Amino acid sequence: MASRKTVYFVASGKYHDIDFARLEVLKLLAEHDYIRTIVAPDYADTAAIAASDFLISYTCDVVPTAEQTQVLRDYVASGKRWFALHGTNSILRFLANGLVDAPEENNPFMELLGTQFKAHPPIGPFKVEVVDKAHPLTQGIDDFEVVDELYLSKPFGPIRTLMKTRFKGEATGFVDAQWDTDDVPLFYLRDFGQGAVLYITLGHCRGHYDLPTLVPYYPHPERCAWNYPVYYDLLRRGIRWALQEF
């Protein structure tokens, strides 16, 4: 019989259908009847985070304070695991010239996550290459095509890349717009102390009403990687990894 596990799930942020992502992740967590979930909009309840068995997040531009960042660093360093999804590593600032900046305002947080979001090109198709085919997180999964928001990030420490892609072109609308790289990590592990972070950048989603200050009604909802069974396979494996089943 499995013992009860408590997960702290941070789900909130801008420009995304957080309700959709929250519900989908909760359904996956509910496949394990011994998991009990605390759902929060931020990292403020540091006592609950410290007491939880693992952490999972789906956010956009939700940045912890310095004190909260230290709790998160201590949490992972102590041997705990954090499964971070999509925009967890983002800091966004809209400039007067209309461009979007991703300023480095919390380097200790990004050092923990291993990368910081810097830009993305328009949503479109790209190939996901399985780099490490032996790891339980990727074993048996072949390269695949996906239509999603391709996150281009700056490294903040050594990572173990499990899946990647390549990109040469322009991330229109961002300060860091020009890119030419054969190494865009999409799914990776970041060891930190005795614990680790697992990060998957795939999984953009947006509904009709998620850009209220920009577009009152967004005409074409986006589900991106959520439309693909392989993405749910990766999420299920990530939850099992967070449970320290492997």
Cβ–Cβ < 8 Å for 11, 41: yes
Nearest to 237 by CA among 87, 136, 129: 136
Locate tokens 């992972």: which residue? Answer: 76
C-alpha atoms less than 13 angstroms from C-alpha of 45 in its C-beta half-sphere: 14
What is the amino acid identity at position 192? Answer: F
Residue 172's CB: how many other CB atoms inside 10 A?
A: 12
Distance in angstroms (rounded) separating the CA atoms of residues 109 and 89: 8
What are the φ and ψ backbone dihedral angles of 198, each rounded to 5 degrees? -110, 125
**Cβ count within 10 A of residue 104:** 12
Task: Report the C-alpha gap between 22 and 4 in whole angstroms.
Answer: 21
pLDDT of res. 1: 78
> Does this model's pTM top 0.95?
yes
Q: Which of 55, 6, 5 is nearest to 199 (CA)?
A: 55
| CATH label of the domain that carries residue 62 | 3.40.50.880
Domain hosting 144: range is 5-242
d(Cα 38, Cα 9) in Å, to the nearest integer? Answer: 6
* DSSP summary character for residue 33: T
Q: Helix (H, G, I), strand (E, B), or coil: what is residue 102?
A: coil
Chain centre to alpha carbon of residue 197: 10
Q: In total, how many domains does the chain have?
A: 1
Structure tokens that stand for 56 in this block: 């999972």
Q: Copy the structure tokens of residue 57.
A: 């997040």
How many other C-beta atoms are found inside a 10 Å radius of the C-beta of residue 173?
14
Cβ neighbours, 10 Å, residue 105: 11
Phi, psi of 209 (to 5 degrees): -120, 30
pLDDT tens across the length of the chain (246 residues): 789 999 999 999 999 999 999 999 999 999 999 999 999 999 999 999 999 999 999 999 999 999 999 999 999 999 999 999 999 999 999 999 999 999 999 999 999 999 999 999 999 999 999 999 999 999 999 999 999 999 999 999 999 999 999 999 999 999 999 999 999 999 999 999 999 999 999 999 999 999 998 899 999 999 999 999 999 999 999 999 999 999
8 Å CB contact between 35 and 25: no
- Residue 167 CA to residue 202 CA, distance in Å, equals 15
- Per-residue pLDDT, 2: 84
